[in-house]
Chains A and B, each alone.
Chain A
């Protein structure tokens, strides 16, 4: 069956530009998570959506980061005015609660 998909797979952008990363969760999963993983580092929680509840945004590193989830399905993570330190792999996962999380392949972002 289809897993979690993310697009683009890779993104190279210039410092100061805005980028949008997309996540298509597994159909029927009510929970969706965004994480960031810098080279050689552990996973860093960014934001968590659960159904129609207000998202847990406590992991967003700055107000340049925002995310939305339309119709309880697809999610978009937006980074405005990108900085070089934003370069990382951005991972999306769906599932939640007591269920196993299923991760997507990630989007590798490089800010020049």
Chain B
């Protein structure tokens, strides 16, 4: 069964601190993995997308890693800001064709306190 599991379910950190969110998946065949940020009341917005051959990708203070062998990914947030408070969703695509199906994790709810 194709699944995407994220941990922790929720996380509270102080402004300026770093944090790492985890994603494990069983989706096969694997095409790509995406991290989305969803602010409360808004639609998700893409942060990074990685294919099988990519191990790491950065977008500003966000750095995603991918280990396709162990089917694990992480999202590292550096020097957190209050605006980083959101739900972070891991999404895996099962094939590279135009008929790709996306599998969503339940998200990690991050709260950054001042």
Contacts and interface: CB of A to CB of B under 8 A. Distances in A.
Contacts of A43: 44, 89, 104, 107
Nearest to A6: B43
B11 to A, nearest CB: 15
A42 B43 contact: no
Interface stretch (A63-71, A80-88, A103-111): A103-111
Interface residues of A, number: 28
A13 interface: no
Nearest to A100: B46
Interface in B21-52: 31-32, 34, 42-46, 49, 51
B101 A105 contact: no
Interface of B: 31-32, 34, 42-46, 49, 51, 89, 96-107
